[in-house]
Amino acid sequence: MDTIALAVPVVVGLELAAALGLAWLCWRLAARRDLLALRDIARAFVALGVSAVLQLFDGGDGVREIASREFGLSLSIWLYLGFMILGAAQLASNNFVTDKVRRDAVLGAVLSAVLSSGISLIAVGEPVVQDTIANALRAGGTGVACLIIARVVSRAPAPPKMLLGASVVRVALSLVTILAAVRAGVAMFQSYSQFSRAVQWQPLLTVEFLAHCALGVGLVIWILDRDWALADASIESAEHRAASDALTGLPNRTIVLDRLDMAVASAQRSGTLVGVLFIDLDDFKAVNDRHGHAAGDAVLCAVGVRLQQLLRASDTVGRIGGDEFVAISPFLRSTADLDVVVQKVRDALRTVVLHEGMSIPVDGSVGAALFPRDADASTALLAAADADLYRDKNVRRLQSRQRAEGHVRSA
């Protein structure tokens, strides 16, 4: 019996060390990443360690000593459950847990501790019955808390990168709930048996302690995974904004030139052709002057969408400024392939854009260049396409003037 009595303090000491170690780790992570949820989980681990230590003390035979012990034990358990719920709530919604909510949770834990310890003191003269009531109340509170946590975390996102934390939380919640039910059942069985207070709760409490630690660690993993996922998404968004045109979302000049360099380098290795199209909208200034800049923006966005839908997935369409677009078509086999692409682009430009009930006719000029026929470097290739664009503009102006003169003669 002495050996067993010595083993319990050792186990509780290990539990306390584990709880405080996890609390310290959560607090450090919270300070580094500015995550309030981890601070609440750190507080929960401290309360869990205190509850483990209070299991060692009988508190004497007097009513005051028993009441103090029961209140301290109940308070530590309710604080643990409350802070764990707060940590789970912040996983689902960062905006939900305010300082007021946190103060209300602490006040609720104190009131719950007063109520549960007061109920258990009804049978202060019957140690077995008192033990039964106390364990049943704590087991019931644990079960309710687990249901709340399960409900809260069910609303938290769990993309593929966050599956580990979510899985640990769900398994730990199931285990804690089962152990709480077992503890309540053992307590009820004890009250109807001839057992005394010498019934050994420590093995069950130790397993339950480990399950609670797993629950906390799972929440920590989940929160960190979510934080990292949000950080990655923010970086990707910033990179996308830096690489994209702010209005149309198409690649900007820098990305277009980079894609053209890669396409030319790939064509040099594979012996294929690269087509570059320089696209400019006709009389775009008149659209802005006549209909306003909002209508002009709508036209640019509509043209960008049409060009994206028209070309292949391997092609690149970018806006390099104003009403100028560039399209890159790698892996062409012949000049005829480039002619097909140019004709598709011309057809796509002849359209009408609807904006706030207005029909805005759109058309554009297209210049094309082919690697390696027209140039053997990306900048020279782009310059060749730009020069061809101005030739196309001049031809279109001449044709438009001739049509106008023809109408005048016919009139």
Which amino acid does the sequence have at 208?
Answer: E
Q: Is the dihedral of CA 167, 169, 170, 171 positive or negative?
A: positive
Classify the phi-psi angles of 271: left when phi > 0, otherwise alpha if psi is within -120 to 50, otherwise beta.
Answer: left
Alpha-carbon distance of 411 to 409, in angstroms, equals 5
Rounded CA separation 23/217 (Å): 10
d(CA 77, CA 47) in angstroms, rounded, equals 7
DSSP letter for 248, please: T
The residue to which tokens 């609303």 are assigned? 155
Distance CA(217)–CA(87), nearest Å, equals 11
Name the catalytic one among 131, 280, 315, 323.
323
Q: Pick from 359, 328, 358: which is nearest to 345 by CA?
A: 328
Q: What span, in angstroms and rounded, lies between the C-alpha atoms of 82 and 217?
A: 16
Task: Determine whether 58 is an active site residue.
Answer: no
If one counts every other C-beta atom within 10 angstroms of the C-beta of residue 260, the result is 23
**In this structure, which amino acid lies at residue 201?**
W
Instruction: Characterize 265-301 residue by residue with b for buried, 16 or more Cβ atoms within 10 angstroms of its Cβ, and e for exposed.
Output: eebeeeeebbbbbbbbbbebeebeeebeeebbebbbb
Burial class (CB in 10 A: 0-12, 13-18, 19+), 34: exposed
d(CA 403, CA 411): 12
- The residues annotated as belonging to the active site are 323
